[in-house]
C-alpha cells in the first residue's frame, strides 16, 4: 500500500484526522473559495476572518449583497457541549460576534445538548444539561449584544421540536445516512439529530421570517449545511438557503489538526477556566515550537512561524495588530526572537484575555435572562 493512502484525511462532523488539503476540500464539498473582494469587505472583522482562517463559503457574497441592499440578515452558529470550553471552541463565536459588530445583526446560538447526549456513550442526561449551562456562560461572556443575541438549549427550549419535526418530514433517512455515515449500531437519536440541527440553522427564518442567515462553522460541519439548504427550498418553507463561512481547523498545542477532547486529557488545550499558572505551564511545556533545537542554531537559521503553534495562536486569536504581528513573524524567522520569548508574548496575551473572560463569565450569571429564548 502506498504511504499516502494511510494518511488519507477523514472529515465529517464526528471525525477529523490526517492531513487536510483545504483546496481539495473546496472542490470535494462544492463550496467557494472566499474571494479577495469578500476579504476586503471584512477587513474590520476578527483576525480569524481577515487572516483567512476562514477560507471557504456558500453564498456569503449574497449575504453581503442583501445587507448592502438594506435587507435583514442574521448569523447562526451553535455549540455541542460535551466538556468545558477551550480556546479552539471559541472560533465560530468570535466570528459571529465580529459579524454582529460590523453588520449590526441578530445572532442565534443553539446549544445541542441532545446531540452530545446521543453521540457520547458515557455522557449522562444530567451531565449534558450541566455542560450546557456552563458553556452558555462562556458564550455570553464573549460580549454579544443583549437584545440581539438569542441562545437556546435543545433540552430546555423544547419548542425546537416542532421545527425539527417539520424538517424531519422532508429529510430521508438515506440522506442523513449518506451525509453522516450512520451505522446500524448507532442509536436512533443519531439519525434524527440532523433534522434538529437543520431546524437550528433555519430557526432565524422560522422565528423572524424569510431572510438570509450565515452559519460560521468548521468545514467538518458542512454536511449539515448542505442538508439544510436542500430542505430550505421546499415549497412548504420557501426559505432562503442559509449561507456558510467555513473555517480551517485550529491546531492543538501539540500542533495536530483539531483541538479534540481526547487531547484535553493530555493537556493539549487551554480551557477558558485555566489559571494563569496552568496557561504558562501548558504553553511552555506543550506548545509545539517551530524553533531550532539550540539557541545558537536558532540565532543562525531562525524559526518557522508557519508551524509554530504559539505564533499561530497569536495570528488567529491574540494579536489583532497587523504591524505587531508582522514584526514578531520576521523577528522569529530571522532568529532574533527565541521560542521562549515568543511563548512569553503568547502567555501574557492569553492570560490577559482569560482574566477578563473569567470576570465577564461571573457577570454573565446575572444576564442569562437577556439572552435565553423562552
**Residues at the contact surface with ligand TRP, assessed by CB under 6 A:** 76-80, 110, 112, 115, 197, 200-201, 215, 217, 221
Which lies closer to ligand TRP via its Cβ, residue 116 or residue 282? 116
Which run of H or E residues covers position 164? helix 160-168
Smallest separation, CB 154 to ligand TRP (Å): 8
Report the nearest approach of ligand TRP to the CB of residue 217 (Å): 5
Helix (H) or strand (E) holding 327: helix 322-334
Q: How far apart are CA 75 and CA 147, in angstroms?
A: 14
Query: Toward ligand TRP, which CB reaches closer, 220 or 280?
Result: 220
Question: C-alpha grid cell for residue 354?
Answer: 482569560
DSSP for 251-316? PPTT--SS--HHHHHTT-S-BTT--HHHHHHHHHHHS---S-SSHHHHHHH---TTT-HHHHHIII
CB of 195 to ligand TRP, least distance (A): 12
What minimum distance in Å lies between the beta carbon of 117 and ligand TRP?
12
CB 166 → ligand TRP: shortest distance, Å?
17
Minimum CB distance to ligand TRP, residue 209 (Å): 19
Q: CB nearer to ligand TRP: give 91 or 316.
A: 91
R_g (Cα) of the chain, nearest Å = 21
Q: Is the Cβ of residue 160 or residue 283 nearer to ligand TRP in the bound state?
A: 160
Cell numbers given for 333: 524567522
**Do 255 and 225 contact (CB within 8 A), yes or no?**
no
Residue (118 or 311) nearer to ligand TRP, CB: 118
Q: Name the residue among 146, 140, 159 with its Cα closest to residue 207.
A: 159
Cβ proximity to ligand TRP: between 230 and 344 the closer is 230
Q: Closer CB to ligand TRP, residue 77 or residue 166?
A: 77
- Least separation in angstroms between residue 125's CB and ligand TRP is 18
Report the distance separating Cα 70 and Cα 123, nearest Å. Answer: 45
Chain residue whose CB lies nearest ligand TRP: 78
**For residue 204, which of 144, 152, 143, 126 has the smallest C-alpha distance?**
152
Contact 105, 68 (CB under 8 A): no
Amino acid at each position: 500500500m502506498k504511504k499516502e493512502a494511510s494518511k488519507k484525511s477523514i472529515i465529517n462532523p464526528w471525525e477529523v484526522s490526517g492531513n487536510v488539503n483545504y483546496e481539495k476540500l473546496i472542490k470535494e464539498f462544492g463550496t467557494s473559495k472566499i474571494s479577495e473582494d469578500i476579504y476586503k469587505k471584512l477587513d474590520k472583522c476578527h483576525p480569524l476572518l481577515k487572516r483567512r482562517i476562514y477560507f471557504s463559503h456558500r453564498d456569503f457574497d449574497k449575504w453581503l449583497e442583501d445587507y448592502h441592499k438594506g435587507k435583514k440578515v442574521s448569523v447562526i452558529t451553535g455549540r455541542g457541549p460535551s466538556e468545558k470550553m477551550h480556546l479552539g471552541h471559541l472560533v465560530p463565536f468570535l466570528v459571529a460576534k465580529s459579524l454582529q459588530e460590523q453588520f449590526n445583526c441578530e445572532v442565534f446560538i443553539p446549544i445541542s445538548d441532545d446531540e452530545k447526549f446521543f453521540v457520547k456513550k458515557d455522557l449522562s442526561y444530567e451531565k449534558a444539561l450541566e455542560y450546557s449551562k456552563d458553556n452558555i456562560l462562556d458564550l455570553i461572556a464573549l460580549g454579544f449584544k443583549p437584545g440581539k443575541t438569542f441562545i437556546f438549549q435543545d433540552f430546555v427550549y423544547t419548542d425546537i421540536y416542532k421545527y425539527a419535526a417539520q424538517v424531519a418530514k422532508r429529510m430521508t433517512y438515506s440522506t442523513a445516512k449518506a451525509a453522516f455515515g450512520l451505522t446500524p449500531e448507532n442509536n436512533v437519536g443519531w439519525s434524527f439529530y440532523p433534522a434538529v440541527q437543520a431546524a437550528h440553522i433555519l430557526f432565524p427564518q422560522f422565528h423572524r421570517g424569510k431572510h438570509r442567515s450565515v452559519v460560521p462553522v468548521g468545514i467538518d460541519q458542512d454536511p449539515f449545511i448542505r442538508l439544510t439548504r436542500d430542505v430550505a427550498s421546499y415549497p412548504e418553507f420557501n426559505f432562503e438557503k442559509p449561507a456558510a463561512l467555513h473555517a480551517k481547523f485550529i491546531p492543538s498545542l501539540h500542533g495536530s489538526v483539531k483541538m479534540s477532547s481526547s487531547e484535553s486529557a493530555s493537556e493539549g488545550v487551554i480551557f477558558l477556566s485555566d489559571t494563569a499558572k496552568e496557561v504558562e505551564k501548558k504553553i511552555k511545556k506543550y506548545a509545539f515550537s517551530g524553533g531550532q533545537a539550540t539557541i545558537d542554531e536558532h540565532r543562525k537559521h531562525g524559526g518557522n512561524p508557519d508551524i509554530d503553534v504559539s505564533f499561530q495562536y497569536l495570528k488567529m486569536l491574540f494579536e489583532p495588530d497587523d504591524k505587531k504581528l508582522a514584526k514578531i513573524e520576521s523577528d522569529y524567522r530571522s532568529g532574533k526572537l527565541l521560542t521562549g520569548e515568543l511563548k512569553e508574548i503568547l502567555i501574557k496575551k492569553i492570560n490577559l484575555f482569560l482574566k477578563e473572560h473569567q470576570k465577564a463569565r461571573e457577570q454573565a450569571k446575572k444576564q442569562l435572562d437577556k439572552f435565553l429564548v423562552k
